[in-house]
Amino acid sequence: MQNLWRQGSRGRLSKIVEDVGQFGAVSASAKNSLVLSSGLRSQRTSLQNHSSFENALVLCILVLSTTAFVNLFPGQLGIESEEGGEIFAQVLWALLYLTLFFLIRKRWKDFIKLAERDRLLWVLTAWAILSIIWSIDRPVTFRRSIALLGTEAFGVYFALRYSLKEQLEKITAALAIVIGASVFACLFFPSYALSSGVPAEEGSWRGVLSHKNTLGGFALLLALVLFIRYVSGWRRTLCTFGIAILVVVVVLSQSITSLVYFVLAFVAIPLVRFFQQRPSHRTKVLLAGAMIFAASATWLYFHGEDFVYSIGKDPTLTGRTELWALSLIWIQQKPVLGYGLEAFWSSYYGPAADFRIISPWLAAPHAHNAYVNLWLDLGIVGLLLLLYILIANIRNAAHLATRSWAAVDTWPIVFFVYLSAICMTGGGFVARNDLYWVLYISTGLGVRSLLAGDSRGR
Mean pLDDT of 12-19: 42
Q: In the prediction, which pLDDT does 44 show?
A: 44
53-67, 159-173, 298-312, 333-347, range with the lowest pLDDT = 298-312
Mean pLDDT of 410-433: 87
Residue 241 has pLDDT above 50, yes or no: yes
Look at phi and psi of residue 209 and say left if phi exceeds 0, alpha if psi is from -120 to 50, else beta: beta
How large is the C-alpha radius of gyration of the chain?
Answer: 24
Q: In the prediction, which pLDDT does 31 show?
A: 38
Q: Tens of pLDDT along 332-388?
A: 999 999 999 988 887 655 677 776 666 656 566 677 889 999 999 999 999 999 999
Residues constituting the chain: 458
Residue 248 has pLDDT above 80, yes or no: yes
Separation CA 407–CA 276 (nearest Å): 9
Query: Treating both helix axes as pointing N-terminal to C-terminal, what angle do 52-64 and 435-457 enclose, rounded to 10 degrees?
Result: 130
Q: Would 224 be classed as within a structural domain?
A: yes
Strand ranges in 1-68 using DSSP code E only, listed in sequence order: none
Q: In the prediction, which pLDDT does 22 show?
A: 40
Nearest one of 263, 53, 68 to 175, comparing CA atoms? 68
Q: In what helix (H) or strand (E) does residue 337 lie, and over which residues does it extend?
A: none
Q: In what helix (H) or strand (E) does residue 65 lie, and over which residues does it extend?
A: none
Q: In the prediction, which pLDDT does 37 show?
A: 41
28-37, 101-110, 333-342, range with the lowest pLDDT = 28-37
More confident residue, 315 or 324: 324
Mean pLDDT of 218-242: 89
More confident residue, 316 or 327: 327
Q: Would 29 be classed as within a structural domain?
A: no
Q: In the prediction, which pLDDT does 13 show?
A: 42
Nearest one of 252, 281, 236, 129 to 182, comparing CA atoms? 252
Separation CA 303–CA 433 (nearest Å): 39
Percentage of residues in the chain having pLDDT higher than 70: 67
Q: Would 27 be classed as within a structural domain?
A: no
SS3 350: coil
> Binning pLDDT at 50, 70 and 90, where does residue 286 land?
low
Task: Mention every residue, 6+ apart, whose C-beta is less than 8 A from residue 47.
Answer: 163, 166
Cβ pair 68, 210 in contact under 8 A: no
Residue 216 has pLDDT above 70, yes or no: yes
28-37, 126-135, 219-228, 322-331, range with the lowest pLDDT = 28-37
The number of domains in the chain is 1
| Domain hosting residue 335, numbered range | 48-457
Q: Tens of pLDDT along 112-144?
A: 999 999 999 999 999 999 999 999 989 889 999
Separation CA 343–CA 140 (nearest Å): 6
**Highest mean pLDDT: which of 9-23, 36-50, 254-268, 433-447?**
433-447
> Binning pLDDT at 50, 70 and 90, where does residue 7 land?
very low
Q: Would 4 be classed as within a structural domain?
A: no
Query: How many other C-beta atoms can be found within 10 angstroms of the C-beta atom of residue 23?
Result: 11
Q: Would 38 be classed as within a structural domain?
A: no
Would you give the DSSP letter of residue 311?
A: T
Separation CA 119–CA 124 (nearest Å): 9
Q: Would 16 be classed as within a structural domain?
A: no
Separation CA 375–CA 386 (nearest Å): 10
Residue 106 has pLDDT above 70, yes or no: yes
Query: How many other C-beta atoms can be found within 10 angstroms of the C-beta atom of residue 182?
Result: 25
Residue 448 has pLDDT above 60, yes or no: yes
> Binning pLDDT at 50, 70 and 90, where does residue 50 land?
confident
Q: Rounded to whole angstroms, what are the CA distances from 364 to 194, 324, 355?
A: 20, 12, 9
SS3 312: coil
Mean pLDDT of 184-198: 82
Q: What is the pTM of this model?
A: 0.81
φ, ψ at 430 (rounded to 5°): 50, 55
CA dihedral 367, 368, 374, 380 (to 10 degrees): -70
Q: In the prediction, which pLDDT does 281 show?
A: 60
Look at phi and psi of residue 312 and say left if phi exceeds 0, alpha if psi is from -120 to 50, else beta: left
CA dihedral 94, 95, 99, 104 (to 10 degrees): 0
Q: Tens of pLDDT along 154-183?
A: 999 999 999 999 999 999 999 999 999 999
Share the mean pLDDT of the chain. 78
Q: Would 198 be classed as within a structural domain?
A: yes
Going 170 to 173 to 175 to 177, the CA torsion angle's sign is negative
Query: How many other C-beta atoms can be found within 10 angstroms of the C-beta atom of residue 12?
Result: 10
Q: In the prediction, which pLDDT does 79 show?
A: 38
More confident residue, 365 or 40: 365
Separation CA 336–CA 339 (nearest Å): 10
Residue 321 has pLDDT above 60, yes or no: yes
Q: Would 174 be classed as within a structural domain?
A: yes
Residue 8 has pLDDT above 70, yes or no: no
Q: In the prediction, which pLDDT does 283 show?
A: 64
